[in-house]
Amino acid sequence: MNIITNLLTIQNQFRVYHWQTQKKPGSFAQHEAFGKAYEALDPLIDDFIEVYQGKKGALMGKNGFVVNLENLSDDYNVFIDEAVEYFINYLPQSLDSTSDTDLLNIKDEMLAILDFAIQHGINSDSAKSRKRRIQALAFGQHDKLIALQLKNDQIQASEYLAETLQIAQDRGYFSPSVSCRGFAFWIQGAVFGHLLVEIAEDTNLAEEWTATMRRALDTFVR
């Protein structure tokens, strides 16, 4: 399948999922995560295609481009897994590891968006995961082994996110004066703190929280 068709299918499937979770009870986090994934992928897909065509020529569809999209279902995670697999195993087959490092970097940014969205909302059990983490943190106050494991896991996850943010910073998406490590912990703290909104079970509050987060992020993002 053509690269353009694959990338547009992945992006627009997230858009459809975003729309179809708008009024679904208990799916606010999914709704937001799908929407953010769609929006974040848009400039990266544009960059990828333009750089690719500048190096290798125009991408043409034999019979044009046909994008097939599905309705949201309980097994939507299959699509998410296939999208991740495409970025990891299949898209790199069209690229050269030496001469296409620019395209591979953009590919990594797109994959990072999927990874982050999966961890922070697309998973339907994200709210439950946050609650389990609170329980684990509580246990860690009384168990040194659990506390050490939590510490190591947190450091590893934060370093991965900071590295991803560093790529975005190097591309000029947000100010070079911002600490990527500090930004990574701030994002995680905000997402983790969404549990307070979930406890309230107030749709208006959830929308207000999202609007506030976006305004806060606007101070970082160019």
Cβ-Cβ contacts under 8 Å for 69 (sequence gap 6 or more) = 9, 12, 13, 16
Q: Decide which of 73, 94, 124 is a domain's last residue.
A: 124
Structural domain boundaries enclosing 209: 125-222
Token pair in block for residue 158: 């934060």
Name which residue leads in pLDDT, 219 or 3. Answer: 3
Q: Which of 85, 80, 97 is nearest to 37 (CA)?
A: 80
Token pair in block for residue 162: 């900071």
Mean pLDDT across the chain: 82
Rg from Cα positions in the chain = 19
Which segments of 21-125 does DSSP mark as H helices, in order? 28-56, 76-85, 101-117
Name which residue leads in pLDDT, 130 or 214. Answer: 214
Mean pLDDT lowest among 23-27, 35-39, 117-121: 117-121
Whether residues 93 and 158 fall in one domain? no
Whether residues 103 and 11 fall in one domain? yes
Q: Which of 170, 18, 10 is nearest to 91 (CA)?
A: 10
Whether residues 12 and 116 fall in one domain? yes
For residue 47, is pLDDT > 90?
Answer: yes
Residue range 53-68: average pLDDT?
A: 84
By three-state DSSP, how is residue 174 classified?
strand
Question: Could you report the per-residue pLDDT of 96-113, keeping only the tens digit for each?
Answer: 989 999 999 898 888 888
Q: Tell me if 44 sits within 8 A of 17, measured CB to CB.
A: no
Q: Which of 119, 155, 129, 131 is nearest to 36 (CA)?
A: 119
For residue 45, is pLDDT > 80?
Answer: yes
Whether residues 147 and 101 fall in one domain? no
Residue 103: give its domain's CATH number.
1.20.1260
Whether residues 82 and 145 fall in one domain? no
Token pair in block for residue 129: 């995961």
Residue range 111-136: average pLDDT?
A: 67
Whether residues 2 and 103 fall in one domain? yes
Strand partners of residue 16: none
Whether residues 142 and 215 fall in one domain? yes
Q: How far is CA 131 from CA 65, 136, 151, 193, 198, in A?
A: 44, 9, 17, 11, 10
pLDDT of residue 152: 82
Whether residues 94 and 168 fall in one domain? no
Look at the block and give the residue holding tokens 């992020």. 217
Domain count, the chain: 2
Whether residues 81 and 147 fall in one domain? no
Confidence of residue 217 (pLDDT cuts 50, 70, 90): confident
For residue 124, is pLDDT > 60?
Answer: no
Token pair in block for residue 103: 């395209």
For residue 120, is pLDDT > 70?
Answer: no
Mean pLDDT lowest among 96-100, 114-118, 165-169: 114-118
Q: How far apart are CA 94 and CA 45, in angstroms?
A: 15
